[in-house]
Amino acid sequence: MSIIRTEQLSRRYGRRVGVDAINLEIGAGEIFGFLGPNGAGKTTTIRLLLGFLQPDAGRASIFGLDCWRQSALVKRDLGYLPGDLRLYPWMTARMALRIFGKIRGVDLSGSGGELAERFRLEMGVRVQKMSRGMRQKLGIILAMAHKPRLLVLDEPTSGLDPLMQKELARSIRELAAAGHTVFFSSHTLSEVESLCDRVAIVREGRIIADERLETLRSRARRTVELVFVDEEAAERADLPSYLQLVRRDGCRCQGELDGPTPPLVHWADDQPLADISIGPPDLGSMFHKFYQLPSEPS
Amino acid sequence: MMRGLLLKTWYEVWLMTLLFGCALLGVNALLTYVIPHFQEGIIEIIERIPFVQPMLTAMLGTELGDEISARTLQAFLWVHPTVLALLWAHAIVFCTRMPAGEIDRGTIDVLLGLPVSRRAAYYGEAIAWLAAGLVILLMGFTGHCLTSSFIPDEERPEFSRALMVLANLYCVYVAVGGIATLVSSLSSHRGGAMAIAFAIVLASFLLNFVAQFWEPAEQVAFLSVMDYYRPAQNLQSGDFPAADVTVLLSVGAAALLLGGEVVARRSICTV
C-alpha cells in the first residue's frame, strides 16, 4: 500500500500557481527526496499533504486517509518539521515533550530524551534563548520522538552544523531501515543525493522528473579527460558519438560522456592514450538543466 | 489530547490572566470603597452637569430619576470604564490567539502538525478562555467583597444581587469574546483582528450611548451588547435579567460556533 498518494493535486494562490496536477506515489520504507528551487511548490505540496490547505483540484491521501478531511487522523502517525520552524518561545525541550506527549497520548520523555542526547540539545533551555540550530534540533526531536510511520521534513538541515546534519542523515536512514517512510524536501542537491532512494523534481508547481536516484545517475553525464601521447594524436582522434568534445588543449581533450562507461573503456583501449580519467555522474548539471525555465539560456 | 492543548494554553495565558485578575480585584476593591465616600459629590455633579445624566443612563442601562440611591451608585462599579476596558481587553487579547495569533507568529504549523483537529484546537482555546474569564471576574468580585464590609449595611448591595450583575457582566464578556473569536477565525494577523474586534466593541458601546440622544440610533440600539447590560436596574429590582443573559449568550455562542466552522474549513497558510 502507498503511504503517500496524490492524484492531479492542484492549488492556486489567486492567479499564481502553487502546485499544478501533482501525482506522487510513495511506498513504505522509502526516503523520498522532493527537490526544487525556492518557490517551486515544495512547501505548498507539504501543506496540502498535512491538510493546512484545501486542494482546488485533485486529492491527496496518506495511509489511505484523505489529507484534507481526515487530517487529524493522518497526523497520529506522522511527524512534521516545518520549513520555517517557529516554536513557542516559552517552551523548553522538556516542556515541549510533555505537552506534545499529552496531545499524542504517548510518553515522549524517554525517546525524546534519547534524541536530545543524540542531537546534543539541552532540555531546560527556553526556545527564546536558543540559537537557530538549537531550535531546529528541537523541531527534529519533536517530529521524530513518537517514531512516526511517515516523517515529513521541509528543509531540515537549515541551521544545523555539518556534524548534526550527519546525525540527522543517520537517524533518517535508521528510520527508513525500520520500514518508516521519509519525505525529504530540499533545494540542496547534495543532501538529497546522499540520502534519498528516489527523487522528484518540482519546478513552477509541476513535477518534471520523478525517478530513482540510480536511474538518474545512469542518465547523468560524466566528465571525461583523455590525455593523448602527443598533440598530433589528440588532433587526429576520432571521438565516439557518445563522447562530446568540450575542450581541446594540446594533448588533452575534455568531453562529456552520455551513456555507460564500458563502451568508452573499450574504445580507449585502441587509442594512443597516455592517461584517461572518468568522473562520477554529474547530477549537478543535470539538475541545473531541470531547474532552468524553458525560456532561460543553458 | 485536550489535556495537552489546555496545558499548552495554560502555560501561555496564566500570567496574563493573573495580571488582569489582580487589576480587576484592585479596581473593584477601590471603587467599592470610594463610591460611598464620594456619594454626595457624585450626585452634585450629576445634577449640575446635564450631560452627565444621559451618559450615566447609557452606562447603567436605566433612568436615574430624581432619587439616586446609594445602591444605584454601587452599580457604577460594574459599568466603570476601567472595569469594562479590562474585561474587554482580556476577552479580545485572549480570543484573537487562535487562529489569528498562531498564524501570525507561525506556530500554527507546529500546532496543526500534531494529531489535533482544528475544531479541537479552537474549542480547547475557547474552554480556556471561558474559564479564564470566570477567574478574572471572580477575582474582581473578591475585590468588591473585600472592601464592601467597610460600607454601611444600608448602602451595601445585596450579595445575591451583586452576583446577578456579575453573571450578566460575564455574559457581556462571552458576547465580546465570541465576536473577537469570529473576527480572529477570519484573519491571519492578530493585530488586525484585535483592532477590528475593538472597533466593533467600541461602536457597540457608542451606539448604546448615542441612542440616549438620537432617535434613529435608538431604533438600532438592540444591536449593541451594552443594551443587554443594566446593572443599576438589576441591583434595584433584584430580578434576574434572563432575557438579556439569553441574548448575550446566544450572540457569544453563535459567534463562537460560526468561528469554529470558519476555522475548520479555511485554508491556513503562514507564508
Mean pLDDT of A114-120: 97
The tally of domains found in chain B comes to: 1
Helix%, strand%, coil% for chain B, nearest 5: 80, 0, 20
DSSP state of A41: S
Determine the pLDDT at residue A294. 59
Q: Which domain holds residue B100?
A: 2-265
Which amino acid would we find at residue A16?
A: R
User: Rounded to a whole number, what is the distance in Å from the CA of B3 to chain A's nearest CA?
Assistant: 7
Torsion sign (Cα): B149, B151, B154, B156: negative
Cβ–Cβ gap B267/A91 under 8 Å: no
A107: closest chain B residue by CA = B4
Nearest chain A Cα to B268, which residue?
A52
Residues of B whose CB is below 8 A from A139 = 110
Whether A45 has its CB under 8 Å from any CB of chain B: the answer is: no
B61 vs A238, more confident: A238
pLDDT band at residue A221, thresholds of 50, 70 and 90? confident
Nearest CA in chain A to B2: A103
Specify the pairing of strand A65-66 against strand A78-81: unpaired
Compute the distance between CA of residue B110 and CA of residue A29 in angstroms, rounded to an integer: 24
A95 touches chain B (CB under 8 A): yes
How much is the pLDDT for B68? Answer: 63
Contact A205, A20 (CB under 8 A): yes
For residue A78, which phi and psi values (nearest 5 degrees)?
A: -130, 140
pLDDT mean over A122-132: 97
The residue of chain A nearest to residue B8, with distances taken between CA atoms, is A99
Does CATH number 1.25.40 belong to domain A221-281?
Answer: no
Strand-pair partners of A126: A92
Q: Hey, what's the cell of B166?
A: 456579575
pLDDT at A70 (0 to 100): 97
Structural domain contains residue B271: no
| Cβ–Cβ gap B110/A95 under 8 Å | no
**Region A244-269: what's the mean pLDDT?**
91
How buried is residue B101: exposed, middle or buried, by Cβ count under 10 Å (0-12/13-18/19+)? buried
CA B61 to chain centre: 15
Q: Which pLDDT belongs to residue A298?
A: 45
Are the C-beta atoms of residues A82 and A159 closer than 8 Å to each other? Answer: no
Beta carbons within 8 Å of B204's beta carbon, 6+ residues apart: B223, B224, B225, B226
* Structure-block grid coordinates of residue B219: 431604533
Name the residue among B159, B25, B40, B163 with its Cα closest to residue B87.
Answer: B25
- Closest by Cα among B11, B45, B264, B115 to A79: B115
Which of A153, A150, A124, A151 minimizes the C-alpha distance to A136? A153
Using a CB–CB cutoff of 8 Å, tell me whether A102 touches chain B. Answer: yes
- Test A86 with B114 for CB contact under 8 angstroms: no
Is A5's pLDDT higher than 90?
yes
Across the interface, whether the CB atoms of B267 and A52 are under 8 A apart is answered yes
**Residuewise pLDDT in 10s, chain B (271 residues):** 889 999 999 999 999 999 999 999 999 999 988 888 777 777 777 777 777 777 777 777 666 665 566 667 778 888 888 999 999 999 999 999 999 999 999 999 999 999 999 999 999 999 999 999 999 999 999 999 999 888 877 777 788 888 999 999 999 999 999 999 999 999 999 999 999 999 999 999 999 888 888 889 999 999 999 999 988 888 888 899 999 999 999 999 999 999 999 999 999 987 6
- Other beta carbons within 10 angstroms of residue A287's beta carbon come to 21
Lowest mean pLDDT, pick from A115-119, A122-126, A268-272, B213-217: B213-217
Strands (E) in A14-98, as ranges, are 16-27, 31-35, 57-62, 65-66, 78-81
Partner B contacted by A112 (CB < 8 A): no
Whether pTM exceeds 0.90: no
Rg (Cα) of chain B, in Å, rounded? 20
At A59, the pLDDT band (50, 70, 90 cuts) reads very high
Q: Helices then strands (H, E): number in chain B?
A: 14, 0
CA dist., res. B246 & res. A15, Å (int): 45
- Cα gap B93→A103, rounded to integer Å: 25
Report pLDDT for A291: 72
Look at residue A145 and tell me whether its pLDDT is greater than 50. yes
CB-CB neighbors (< 8 A) of B108 in chain A: 52
Nearest residue to A100 via CA among B3, B94, B268, B123:
B3
Mode of pairing for the β-strands spanning A252-257 and A222-228: antiparallel
Looking at the structure, give the CATH architecture of the domain made up of residues A2-217. 3-Layer(aba) Sandwich (3.40)
d(CA B200, CA A209): 52
Q: Check residues A20 and A188 and name the one with the higher pLDDT.
A: A20
| A47 interfaces chain B, CB cutoff of 8 Å | yes
> Which residue ranges make up each domain of chain A?
2-217, 221-281
Whether A43 and B267 lie within 8 Å, measured CB to CB: no
Sheet (strand A198-203) strand order? A78-81, A150-154, A181-186, A31-35, A198-203, A206-212
C-alpha cell at A193: 543525493
List, as one string, the DSSP characters of A156-190.
TTTT--HHHHHHHHHHHHHHHHTT-EEEEEES-HH
Interface test with A, best of B9, B110, B269 (most A CBs within 10 A): B110
Strand-pair partners of A243? A257
Is B270 part of any domain? no
Cβ atoms A184, A195 nearer than 8 A: yes
Place of cell 476555522: B263
**What are B235's three cell numbers?**
441591583
DSSP states of A115-152 as a string?
HHHHTT--TT-BGGGS-HHHHHHHHHHHHHTT--SEEE
Q: How confident is the model at residue A103 (pLDDT cuts 50, 70, 90)?
A: very high
A120 forms bridges with which residues in the sheet?
Answer: none
Rounded to 5 degrees, φ, ψ at B60 are -85, -20
Distance of CA B231 to the CA centre of its chain: 13
Q: Say yes or no: A76 contacts chain B, CB-CB below 8 A.
A: yes
- In the block, which residue shows the cell 519533536? A142
